[in-house]
Amino acid sequence: MSNWIDYLSSQGARFHIDEAGQVEDFGRVLSRAELADGFVAPATDLGLIGVAGEDAASFLHNQLTNDVEHLSRTEARLAGYCTPKGRLQATCLMWRDEQSIYLQLPRAIQAPLQKRLTMFVLRAKAKLRDATAEPQYEAVLGLGGAKAEAALSEHFGALPAVPYAKLDHDLGAVIRLADAFDAPRYLWLTSAQTAIAAIPKLKARLALGGNVAWHLAAIHAGVPQVTLKTQEQFVPQMVNFELVGGVNFKKGCYPGQEIVARSQYLGKLKRRMVLASVDNAAAQPGEEVFSSADPEQPAGMIVNAAANGAGGADVLVEIKLAALTDAVHLGSAAGAQLSVLPMPYSLDAAGT
């Protein structure tokens, strides 16, 4: 990992103030327009749990919100891990290879989740490990925007054709994710050596960003990521997790399953997640938002936030749907006002 981080530093990386190995950007924050045109972003704040053993799939199937037993090697899926009360402790991207199933999630919560899951292995033939620095996944590159497909095709030829399809190649694995800015997003998982060789050619065609750019693209894809500050705050439907394919209502039980199912089938959902912009680049996950119609009580919470290159931040915010008819402010009723933006999918779409 150090060679990869050292290389990014030599390219002008700016690091997170509290995390020396996490690249925020390369001298400036990329704008929405630059992301829409095409970008490549080393994602350095993600951790990876590997689960191996003949019971790995059945064990995870009984822990997560999505179907693991039928996960093939040519696809990836979103999944959540809930408390018994149905509140998300983590959201992750999962895929498998010949030996293991992998869960990718923020590095800040990777080790605690790995420890918690290990507590429930019991007699199952499954072993969890920290796979973050394993050579084949040491470098994680996120790509998106109009020019990304052509730039990545120069390395791989054909790319995954639909969201959450996965391609294995000598140069690593490529997973297509949910689209953002009307263009595909891709996650390239590879060795540090391969990534170092690829970056010069990629950045000649694409804007070079870091974690901030990758987060901003995910926000515009409408895909939530539970972080350290938002653990146990949301039932999956409150952050549209079933709308983006993160919940399978036909699979068997998992922690919190009854609560999640009840939220889906009994009554109408009163809280959802929406996309918004705010003139405060320092907006953070976990911050509460307030409606002008009821200024004393929080109307919702920031799920994810990223600077947008225009002096503010774009956010995914979980909120009472009734509050959207009023002005909504960050931090207090006197805070910066949120401007709601169109979501990339319907909030009334059927769950999976």
Flag whether 188 is in a domain: yes
Checking if the pLDDT of 221 tops 90, the result is yes
| Tens of pLDDT, residues 244-263 | 999 999 988 999 999 999 88
Flag whether 325 is in a domain: yes
Flag whether 352 is in a domain: no
pLDDT band at 344 (very low <50, low <70, confident <90, very high): very high
183 and 322 co-located in one domain: no
Q: What is the CB neighbour count within 10 angstroms for residue 249? A: 13
Final residue before a domain boundary, out of 189, 222, 255: 222
Cα distance between residue 105 and residue 214, in whole Å:
13
Flag whether 350 is in a domain: no
246 and 202 co-located in one domain: no
Supply the CATH number for residue 324's domain. 2.40.30.160
When the pLDDT of each residue in the chain is averaged and rounded to a whole number, the result is: 95
23 and 122 co-located in one domain: yes
| pLDDT recorded at residue 1 | 57
Final residue before a domain boundary, out of 222, 243, 270: 222
Supply the CATH number for residue 34's domain. 3.30.1360.120
49 and 170 co-located in one domain: yes
* 49: containing domain: 1-222
286 and 181 co-located in one domain: no
The DSSP secondary structure of 161-219, one letter per residue, reads SSTTBEEEETTEEEEEEEEETTEEEEEEEE-HHHHHHHHHHHHTTSEE--HHHHHHHHH
Mean pLDDT for the stretch of residues 225-236: 98
* Dihedral sign, Cα of residue 63, residue 96, residue 137, residue 244: negative
218 and 232 co-located in one domain: no
Flag whether 347 is in a domain: no
- Residue 131: HSE in the Cβ half-sphere, 13 Å Cα cutoff: 25
Flag whether 1 is in a domain: yes
| C-beta of residue 9 within 8 angstroms of C-beta of residue 178 | no
H runs (alpha helix) in the chain:
2-10, 32-37, 56-61, 107-119, 148-156, 192-203, 211-221, 257-265
177 and 43 co-located in one domain: yes
| pLDDT recorded at residue 182 | 97
Final residue before a domain boundary, out of 198, 222, 246: 222
| pLDDT recorded at residue 250 | 92
210 and 316 co-located in one domain: no
| Tens of pLDDT, residues 35-68 | 999 999 999 999 999 999 999 999 999 999 999 9
| C-beta of residue 320 within 8 angstroms of C-beta of residue 270 | yes
99 and 181 co-located in one domain: yes
pLDDT band at 350 (very low <50, low <70, confident <90, very high): very low
Cα distance between residue 322 and residue 276, in whole Å:
16
- Residues near 127 by Cβ (< 8 Å), separated by ≥ 6? 51, 52, 53, 121
Helix axis angle, 2-10 to 192-203, nearest 10°: 20
How many domains does the chain divide into?
Answer: 2
216 and 232 co-located in one domain: no
Q: What is the CB neighbour count within 10 angstroms for residue 65? A: 28
159 and 270 co-located in one domain: no
